[in-house]
C-alpha cells in the first residue's frame, strides 16, 4: 500500500506556489559567480512577495484612482437618475391614460388586412419568395466579404453616409458600427423592396403596406437606440451620463406637455412669440367677425397697383408662415413690389363651430372677406391667392362665382393646392373608412373639433425620419435642447378643425374626388371647375409630400376653361413656397404649355436658378391694373381694430 505523504513540519518555510513561466526554485536564478554568496538582502526562502503596484500584470486588477472612482460614481448616479425620470414619466402617463376610452379600433389604419394581402400574394408565388431570400443571402455575403477585406486591410473604410441618420463619422470609421449600419440598410431595403414588388394587389392596399413597412423599418434603425448609436454613447461618456439625464428630463417634459402622450418638441417654443419676433410685418386688422380677421398691411412704396391682393391661407395652419422673419416674409416682399396686401386670418375654431362646413367657409369666409377687402380698398375687383387647403376652397369658390356670374376676382394664384385628388399621395392612406371612424371619435370626444395635435401627428408620420426620429435622437438620446427654429415653431402651432368641415373635406375630396368630377356641391350649386375662365397661376413643389406635384398638375389641367400658368419649384410643401429671391436657393421650372402629363411638361420645361417669386410677380403685375397712390390701412373706410398680426393668430389649440 502506498504510504500517505508526510506533512511538512510546522517550522519549515512554506514552498511558494509554482507559476507558469517561472523557475520552480524558490530562489530566483542568479549568476554562477554569486551562487555561493547570496546577496544579504535576500533572506532564506520566504513566500514570494506580492508584485509591486506598478507591475504590468497587476495593472489590470488595480483599483481605480480617486478621479476614476468619482467618474464611475457620477455615471452610475446619472444612469439611475435617468432611469427613475423615465419610469416616473411613463407611470404618470399610464395613470393619465387609464380613464380614457379605448380606441375604436386596434388597427385604425387597416394595416393588418393590407399586410395580409401582401403576404398572401407572396405566398402564392414561392419562386418569387425564394428569389427574394436568395437576394438577401447574396447581399449579406457581399457585406461579410467587404467587412473581411476591410479587416485584412485590403479595403478602405466606406465613405461617410449621405443618410442624415448616420452622419457621425463613427458609423463608417468604426468597424462594429459600420457593419451594424450596413446590415440594417441591407435588411430595410430588402424588406421595403419585397413589399413593393407585389403586383396582384389593389394599388391603395399595396401603398398602405409599403407606407407602414417603411415606418417600421425607420423605427428600427440602430440610430434610434442608445446602445447602438455611437454619437449618443460618446455624449454619454463625455458627460458622465448627464446627457441621458437631460434627455430623460426632455422626455418627461414632452410627456407632460402631451397630457400622457408623447408630444416631441421640435423647437424651443419659448424663444418665439407671435407678433414679437415672428409675424411682425406692419399692418392693421380692419375687420373681425366670428370666422376671420382681415388684415391690411402697410404699403412699402409710394404707389400701389389698383387691384389689391387677398391671400387665403390654409385653416389647418396659421398664416404667418408667410411672415416668419423680415428677410423671408412673402407679405413684406409683396408690399415691396407695390401690391396692396390683405390676409384672411382664420379663427382657431372651438366647439361652437363644430357644425361649420364648406358653405359657411364660402359665404361667411371667402365672400365676406372679399367684400370687406374691396370696401377697404375702394376697388371693384381683387386678385386672390389660395394656399394648400385654402386653395381647394378657393377653387370651389371660383367655380361657384362662375356659376353665378360673379366677376369680382380678376385673377387667382394657387400655392401647393389640390382640386383633383386622384394622385394625392400618402394622405390618401388616412382616408380609409376605418380611420375616418377613428377621427370622428376623436372629434366627438373633443366636443366636435379635431385637436390640432392630431393633424400634426399625421403630417409628422409622412416624414418620420425628419420630423420624429431625428428629434427623438437629439432630444432624448443626446440630451440636446430643441433648436430655436422659427419654421418648426410655426409647424407646431396647429389649429383645431370643425367636425363637419373636416369630415366633408376628407370624404368628398380625398375619399371620392368629387370636386374634379363636377359632383361637389357648395353654396347650393354643384360646381364645375371647367367653367372658371379667369387667369390662374399654379405653383407646385417638386418634393412636396402633402400636395404632390402630380396631384397639383392634374388640378391645373382640371380648369380647362382658364388660361393656366404653372411653375414647378424646388424643395417641398413649405420651403418650395417660402423661398425669397434674396436667399438664392433651389430652382424653378417654367413651361407655357400644359401637355397631358407632368412628365411631358417637365421634358419641355426650362430650368431657372433661385426663387419663382419674380416670375409670379411679373404675371401678377399684368393682372393688377394701373398704379394708384398707396393705401394706408389706417385711413380706409374700415376703422382699424388693432395692429397686425391680430388676435386670432395668437389663440393656441
Q: Where do the DSSP E strands lie in 261-348? A: 283-288, 292-297, 303-305, 309-312, 341-346
Q: Are strands 536-541 and 409-415 parallel, antiparallel or unpaired?
A: parallel
Taking the C-alpha atoms of residue 561 and residue 566, their distance in angstroms, rounded to an integer, is 15
Pair 457, 435: CB distance under 8 Å: no
Nearest to 82 by CA among 266, 261, 264, 250: 250
Q: Is 388 a catalytic residue?
A: yes
Q: Sort strands 283-288 and 292-297 into parallel, antiparallel or unpaired.
A: antiparallel
Query: What is the DSSP annotation of 95-128?
Result: HHHHTSPPPS-S-TT-HHHHHHHHHHHHHT-HHH
Helices (H), 463-539: 464, 470-471, 486-492, 499-504
DSSP bridge partners of 304: 628
Distance CA 544, CA 468 (A): 18
Q: DSSP characters for 508-522?
A: IIIIT-TTTTT--EE
Q: Which residues pair with 312 in a beta bridge?
A: 386
164 within 8 A of 465, measured Cβ to Cβ? yes
Q: Which of 291, 388, 552, 568 is catalytic?
A: 388
Contact (CB, 8 A) for 473 and 229? yes
Buried b (16+ CB within 10 A) or exposed e, 442-474: bbeebebbbbbbbbbbbbbbbbebebbbbbbbb
Give the angle subtended at the CA of 544 by the CAs of 542 and 549, to the nearest 5°: 55
| Catalytic residue set | 388
Amino acid at each position: 500500500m502506498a504510504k500517505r505523504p508526510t506533512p511538512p513540519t510546522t517550522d519549515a518555510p512554506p514552498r511558494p506556489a509554482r507559476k507558469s513561466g517561472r523557475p520552480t526554485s524558490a530562489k530566483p536564478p542568479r549568476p554562477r559567480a554569486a551562487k555561493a554568496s547570496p546577496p544579504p538582502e535576500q533572506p532564506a526562502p520566504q513566500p514570494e512577495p506580492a508584485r509591486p503596484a506598478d507591475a504590468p500584470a497587476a495593472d489590470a486588477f488595480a483599483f481605480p484612482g480617486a478621479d476614476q472612482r468619482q467618474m464611475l460614481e457620477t455615471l452610475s448616479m446619472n444612469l439611475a437618475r435617468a432611469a427613475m425620470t423615465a419610469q416616473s414619466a411613463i407611470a404618470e402617463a399610464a395613470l393619465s391614460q387609464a380613464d380614457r376610452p379605448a380606441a375604436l379600433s386596434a388597427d385604425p389604419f387597416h394595416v393588418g388586412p393590407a399586410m395580409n394581402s401582401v403576404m398572401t400574394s407572396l405566398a402564392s408565388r414561392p419562386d418569387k419568395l425564394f428569389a427574394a431570400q436568395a437576394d438577401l443571402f447574396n447581399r449579406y455575403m457581399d457585406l461579410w466579404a467587404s467587412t473581411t477585406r476591410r479587416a485584412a486591410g485590403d479595403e478602405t473604410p466606406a465613405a461617410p453616409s449621405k443618410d442624415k441618420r448616420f452622419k457621425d463619422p463613427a458609423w463608417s470609421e468604426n468597424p462594429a458600427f459600420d457593419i451594424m449600419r450596413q446590415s440594417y440598410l441591407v435588411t430595410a431595403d430588402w424588406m421595403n423592396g419585397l413589399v413593393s414588388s407585389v403586383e396582384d394587389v389593389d394599388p391603395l392596399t399595396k401603398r398602405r403596406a409599403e407606407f407602414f413597412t417603411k415606418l417600421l423599418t425607420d423605427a428600427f434603425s440602430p440610430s434610434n437606440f442608445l446602445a447602438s448609436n455611437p454619437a449618443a454613447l460618446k455624449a454619454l461618456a463625455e458627460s458622465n451620463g448627464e446627457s441621458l439625464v437631460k434627455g430623460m428630463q426632455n422626455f418627461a417634459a414632452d410627456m407632460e406637455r402631451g397630457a400622457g402622450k408623447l408630444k416631441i418638441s421640435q423647437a424651443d417654443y419659448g424663444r418665439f412669440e407671435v407678433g414679437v419676433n415672428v409675424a411682425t410685418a406692419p399692418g392693421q386688422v380692419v375687420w373681425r367677425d366670428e370666422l376671420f380677421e382681415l388684415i391690411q398691411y402697410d404699403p412699402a412704396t409710394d404707389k400701389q397697383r389698383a387691384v389689391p391682393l387677398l391671400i387665403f391661407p390654409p385653416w389647418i395652419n396659421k398664416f404667418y408662415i408667410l411672415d416668419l422673419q423680415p428677410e423671408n416674409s412673402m407679405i413684406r416682399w409683396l408690399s415691396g413690389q407695390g401690391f396692396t396686401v390683405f390676409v384672411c386670418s382664420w379663427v382657431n375654431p372651438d366647439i361652437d363651430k363644430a357644425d361649420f362646413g364648406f358653405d359657411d367657409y364660402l359665404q361667411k369666409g371667402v365672400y365676406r372677406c372679399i367684400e370687406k377687402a374691396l370696401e377697404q380698398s375702394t376697388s371693384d375687383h381683387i386678385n386672390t391667392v389660395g394656399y394648400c387647403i385654402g386653395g381647394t376652397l378657393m377653387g370651389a369658390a371660383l367655380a361657384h362665382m362662375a356659376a353665378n356670374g360673379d366677376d369680382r376676382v380678376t385673377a387667382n394664384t394657387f400655392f401647393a393646392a389640390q382640386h383633383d385628388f386622384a394622385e394625392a399621395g400618402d394622405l390618401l392612406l388616412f382616408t380609409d373608412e376605418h380611420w375616418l371612424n377613428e377621427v370622428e371619435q376623436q372629434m366627438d370626444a373633443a366636443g366636435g373639433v379635431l385637436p390640432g395635435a392630431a393633424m400634426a401627428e399625421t403630417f409628422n408620420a409622412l416624414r418620420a425620419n425628419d420630423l420624429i426620429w431625428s428629434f427623438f435622437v437629439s432630444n432624448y438620446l443626446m440630451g440636446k435642447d430643441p433648436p430655436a427654429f422659427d419654421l418648426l415653431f410655426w409647424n407646431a402651432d396647429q389649429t383645431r378643425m370643425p367636425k363637419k368641415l373636416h369630415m366633408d373635406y376628407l370624404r368628398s375630396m380625398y375619399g371620392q374626388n368629387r370636386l374634379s368630377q363636377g359632383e361637389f356641391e357648395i353654396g347650393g350649386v354643384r360646381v364645375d371647375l371647367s367653367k372658371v375662365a379667369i387667369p390662374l397661376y399654379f405653383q407646385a413643389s417638386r418634393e412636396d409630400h402633402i400636395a404632390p406635384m402630380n396631384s397639383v398638375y392634374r388640378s391645373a389641367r382640371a380648369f380647362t376653361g382658364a388660361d393656366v400658368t404653372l411653375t414647378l419649384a424646388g424643395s417641398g410643401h413649405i420651403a418650395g413656397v417660402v423661398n425669397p429671391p434674396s436667399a438664392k436657393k433651389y430652382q424653378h421650372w417654367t413651361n407655357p404649355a400644359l401637355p397631358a402629363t407632368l412628365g411631358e411638361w417637365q421634358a419641355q420645361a426650362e430650368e431657372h436658378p433661385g426663387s419663382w417669386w419674380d416670375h409670379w410677380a411679373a404675371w401678377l403685375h399684368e393682372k393688377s391694373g394701373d398704379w394708384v397712390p398707396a393705401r394706408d390701412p389706417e385711413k380706409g373706410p374700415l376703422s382699424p381694430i388693432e395692429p397686425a398680426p391680430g388676435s386670432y393668430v395668437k389663440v393656441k389649440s
